[in-house]
Amino acid sequence: MTTTAIRSNSDQAEGGTGQVVAHVRNLIERGALKPGDRLPAERDLATQIGVSRPTIRAGLRTLAAMGVVRSRHGSGTYIPDGPPALNTDALSFLAALHGFTREEMYEARRILEVGAAGLAAERATSEQVATLAEEVASLFASMQDPQVFLVHDINFHRAVASASGNPIVASLVEMVSAMYYESRRETAVRASERDLRDAAEMHRRIYQAIRARDAETARRAMHDHLMQASRHQAQEPQPGHDSFPRRAPSSSSVPPKRRARPHRRQPSN
């Protein structure tokens, strides 16, 4: 019975750069840094913490990649305000690395967004409902341009997530949506106008259920929408495999589906 320790994967408790991350974290937890604030200049931080500027920059870059800070050339390093936002690229990289399938993406979206739709029906403000209405209108208005349609499609789903009132759920949906957009952008042109009309209609139903404060109908509508989208996309002409890594050709016959991912062990350093 192994009592596996829980460790952050970027465990930088020691080392200069981890010192920087920890310092900023302390500032945040002490309330000295709030969203919108500007951090001290790198050269100042260097003298404060007692490390060199390159080390400071390394730590700040780590924080920037996490979405905790944002550097603006010539101006300073700031903590972004607005809703909390994770780095959306991370999931896209993992998708490219591990070859996530469309079905897996839709499955993840279904789990997340069905829940988000239910919450949105219970809590959406009138402004958020208005935003949803606008995006639905944009969907119907862009049925002849799959690329523009896709943008409004994603925007609608992000708006639903935002209307859920739960910033964590909203952040996760943002990540998954960004990954989906990345992988869908190239193939979106293959969607038939009939499919787009269906999709627009289903978005409208989701919107109406949220507006009517009917959580269960909203959940079902979101579920049906994502199921149908997944089915439609599976029927489209051969997907461009070029964006996904191809397995190295092996002498033995390649398994037809996906192979399980064995945990090749790696030294812990």
Binders of its own copies among residues 185 to 244 (CB under 8 A) are 243-244
Which of residues 16, 23, 40, 84 is near its own copies by CB under 8 A? 84
Provide DSSP, 97-165: HHT--HHHHHHHHHHHHHHHHHHHHHH--HHHHHHHHHHHHHHHHTTT-HHHHHHHHHHHHHHHHHHT-
Give the binding range for its own copies (CB under 8 A) out of 41-49, 115-123, 194-202, 209-217. 115-123
Query: Between residue 41 and residue 60, which ones bind its own copies under the rule CB under 8 A?
Result: 54, 57-58
Q: Which CB atom, from 113 or from 195, has the smaller least distance to its own copies?
A: 113
How remote is the C-alpha of 212 from its chain's centroid? 28
Which residues in the 55-84 window bind DNA by CB under 7 A?
A: 55, 57-58, 60, 71-77
Q: How many residues bind DNA (CB under 7 A)?
A: 26
Applying the rule CB under 7 A, the residues between 22 and 51 that interact with DNA are 39, 41-44, 51
Q: Pick the closer one to DNA by CB: 16 or 165.
A: 16
Nearest distance from C-beta of residue 185 to its own copies, angstroms:
9
Among 16, 80, 99, 165, contact with DNA (rule: CB under 7 A) = 16
Judged by DSSP in three states, 77 sits in strand
Distance CA 90, CA 93 (A): 5
Q: Assess 10 for contact with its own copies (CB under 8 A).
A: yes
Contact between 245 and 136 (Cβ < 8 Å): no
Distance CA 81, CA 78 (A): 9
Whether 129 contacts 211, CB under 8 Å: yes
CB 157 within 8 A of CB 177: yes
Q: Does 8 bind DNA (CB under 7 A)?
A: no
Residue from 16, 23, 40, 61 in contact with its own copies (CB under 8 A): 61
Residue closest to 174 by CA, chosen among 185, 196, 153, 159: 159
- The residues binding DNA (CB under 7 A) are 15-18, 39, 41-44, 51-55, 57-58, 60, 71-77, 267, 269
